[in-house]
Amino acid sequence: MKKRLLLAVGAAAATAALGGAAMTVSAEEPVEIVYTSRGNADEIKVYQQAVDAFNEAQDGVHVTFEASPSDGYSQQLITQLAGGTAADVIFVEDTIINQLMKNGTIANIEEFMGTDKSYAKVEDFDEAVLNATRTEDGIWGLSVDCNPMILYYSPAMLEELGIEDPQKLFEEGQWTWDKFDEICTTLKENGKYGLVQGGDNIRLYNWVFGNGGSVWDGDTYKFDDKAREAFHYICDRLNDGRFVYGGTLPDGQGEDAMFMSKQVGFIAAGRWLTKTFHNEGIDFDYIPYPSKDGTKYSPAQICLGFLCVNANSEHKEEAMQFLTYYCGTQGQEARITGVGTSVPSVKTLDGLLLDSEVPAHVDHILQVRATGWASGTDVVKDTIYAGFSDATKAVFEESYVNGADPDETIAKAEEKAAEIVAENQ
């Protein structure tokens, strides 16, 4: 049975400060709250580490972690929130965060973050990360960590083929589409693909923003001229064989397997492949997406997941204490150590990655975090609308797979987008 935390009087009510956050000491039993998230076996172990660290750090609140199956997790969460059966603290995917912000089933944590009870402050996060859950009315959740999109490549393989060093080109302001074309041409001449082009819209938009383009004009999905040029760029290289579409790779032959077997020069991913490659002894390094004109660190997506507080929780303040711990410096430090699979979303922990020195230019991924974009914000509103990402991806595949005219495909995508936006009004 859950019990409210009772405030003692006088000296017994001394406030224990830990990492800048104040917790009230009580002789009563701790308040019991529940945190739920989906995840695989390895992820669940990591999540539990942060829960254990919080429970050991103070005695006013006790958190029980309940793992949930990944299949159907988001829909189940929506149903639980509507029915009043959701946990106090919940993991929320970026595909539904805006829906929950709109329907009022998650709590505003902005005021709490301004108190000395919060373990995390607004200034701890880059704006691009925080803006994914911030509106003019408040802040509705915090990122548990993040994964900026970066290109992986093998320096040793490029050197063997006599290809220019991407790091040198980047530093000289020459990491351009033209230079990338030259590299991909050489890779193709040596029986390899230049890049595995993923089918999700993320990997399309990273090229768009590398050209200074846009795909949203207010609430209208509309490709400007530079966005159209970027889509043509991708389609042309898929057609001539310098790129290969990830959606057409044989079963079991994903982009990570292609990279490990040296069949491709570049793949796009977050830090989630780093630990595997490092443990397997695979030669790799990071390099940002090239831009049309050599601009450094053009915006690329920051993949995010969030912790939120159930608006109907009986213990919202205690839930917010745990949330800000888990997503703040202490919680992320407990989960992100050594050569991990994600990037801290709090700036105070950048040293964890830099000290690992894996890969050699690990600092690139931190710079992308600082300049990147998150879905659901004004620059990319896809995840605001249910079904948007899958529907538009299916349209773009007409060009990726079947070679349909790029301009006709864009027109169809814009038309489909307008339908979905109207349905979600």
**313, 337, 356 — which closes off a domain?**
356
Using the predicted structure, report yes or no on whether residue 23 has a pLDDT greater than 70: no
**311, 341, 356 — which closes off a domain?**
356
Q: Looking at the structure, do residues 20 and 102 belong to the same domain, yes or no?
A: yes
Q: Is residue 366 part of a domain?
A: no
pLDDT tens digits, residue range 181-209? 999 999 999 999 999 999 899 999 999 99
> Comparing C-alpha atoms, which of 325, 304, 303 is closest to residue 109?
325
Using the predicted structure, report yes or no on whether residue 154 has a pLDDT greater than 90: yes
What Cα–Cα distance (Å) separates residue 152 from each residue in 116, 167, 168?
41, 12, 16
Residue 330 sits in a domain whose CATH number is 3.40.190.10
Which residue bears the tokens 């989906």?
38
The rounded distance, in Å, linking the Cα atoms of 336 and 338 is: 7
pLDDT of residue 40: 82
Dihedral sign for Cα atoms in the order 291, 95, 138, 329: negative
pLDDT of residue 30: 95
Q: Looking at the structure, do residues 249 and 391 belong to the same domain, yes or no?
A: yes
Q: Looking at the structure, do residues 408 and 269 belong to the same domain, yes or no?
A: yes
Structure tokens at 180: 């990338």
What backbone torsions phi and psi does residue 150 show, to the nearest 5 degrees?
-140, 160
- Give me the domain span that covers residue 275: 150-300+385-423
Average the pLDDT over 121-138 and give the result. 92
Q: Looking at the structure, do residues 190 and 166 belong to the same domain, yes or no?
A: yes
Q: Is residue 157 part of a domain?
A: yes
What Cα–Cα distance (Å) separates residue 37 from each residue in 44, 65, 80, 387, 403?
8, 8, 13, 22, 40
- What is the distance, to the nearest Å, from the Cα of residue 166 to the centroid of all Cα atoms in its chain? 25
What is the pLDDT confidence band of residue 424, given thresholds at 50, 70 and 90?
A: confident
Average the pLDDT over 6-22 and give the result. 38
pLDDT of residue 119: 97
CB 193, CB 243: distance < 8 Å: yes
Q: Looking at the structure, do residues 75 and 220 belong to the same domain, yes or no?
A: no
- Comparison of pLDDT for 386 and 256, the residue scoring more: 256
Q: Is residue 72 part of a domain?
A: yes
- What is the distance, to the nearest Å, from the Cα of residue 412 to the centroid of all Cα atoms in its chain? 28
Using the predicted structure, report yes or no on whether residue 4 has a pLDDT greater than 80: no
- Comparison of pLDDT for 150 and 18, the residue scoring more: 150
The rounded distance, in Å, linking the Cα atoms of 94 and 164 is: 38
Q: Is residue 374 part of a domain?
A: no
Q: Is residue 1 part of a domain?
A: no
Q: Is residue 89 part of a domain?
A: yes
Q: Looking at the structure, do residues 228 and 323 belong to the same domain, yes or no?
A: no
pLDDT of residue 27: 53
Q: Looking at the structure, do residues 392 and 287 belong to the same domain, yes or no?
A: yes
**Across 122-126, 167-171, 214-218, 357-361, least confident range:** 122-126
pLDDT tens digits, residue range 295-352? 999 999 999 999 999 999 999 999 999 999 999 999 999 888 888 889 999 988 999 8
pLDDT of residue 326: 97
What is the pLDDT confidence band of residue 218, given thresholds at 50, 70 and 90?
A: very high
Dihedral sign for Cα atoms in the order 45, 117, 77, 130: negative
**356, 377, 395 — which closes off a domain?**
356
pLDDT of residue 46: 86
Exposed/middle/buried for 287, CB within 10 Å: 0-12, 13-18, 19+?
buried
Q: Looking at the structure, do residues 287 and 405 belong to the same domain, yes or no?
A: yes
Q: What is the mean pLDDT of the chain?
A: 91
Using the predicted structure, report yes or no on whether residue 17 has a pLDDT greater than 70: no
Exposed/middle/buried for 72, CB within 10 Å: 0-12, 13-18, 19+?
exposed
Our count of domains for the chain comes to: 2
Q: Is residue 60 part of a domain?
A: yes
Q: Looking at the structure, do residues 115 and 194 belong to the same domain, yes or no?
A: no
Q: Looking at the structure, do residues 53 and 169 belong to the same domain, yes or no?
A: no
Structure tokens at 106: 């998650």
Q: Is residue 369 part of a domain?
A: no
pLDDT of residue 340: 85
Q: Looking at the structure, do residues 266 and 314 belong to the same domain, yes or no?
A: no
pTM tops 0.85:
yes
Exposed/middle/buried for 272, CB within 10 Å: 0-12, 13-18, 19+?
middle
Q: In angstroms, how far apart are the furthest CA atoms of the chain?
A: 78
> Comparing C-alpha atoms, which of 128, 313, 320 is closest to residue 209?
128
Dihedral sign for Cα atoms in the order 281, 199, 196, 261: positive
What is the pLDDT confidence band of residue 43, given thresholds at 50, 70 and 90?
A: confident
**Across 4-13, 217-226, 334-343, least confident range:** 4-13
Q: Looking at the structure, do residues 282 and 412 belong to the same domain, yes or no?
A: yes
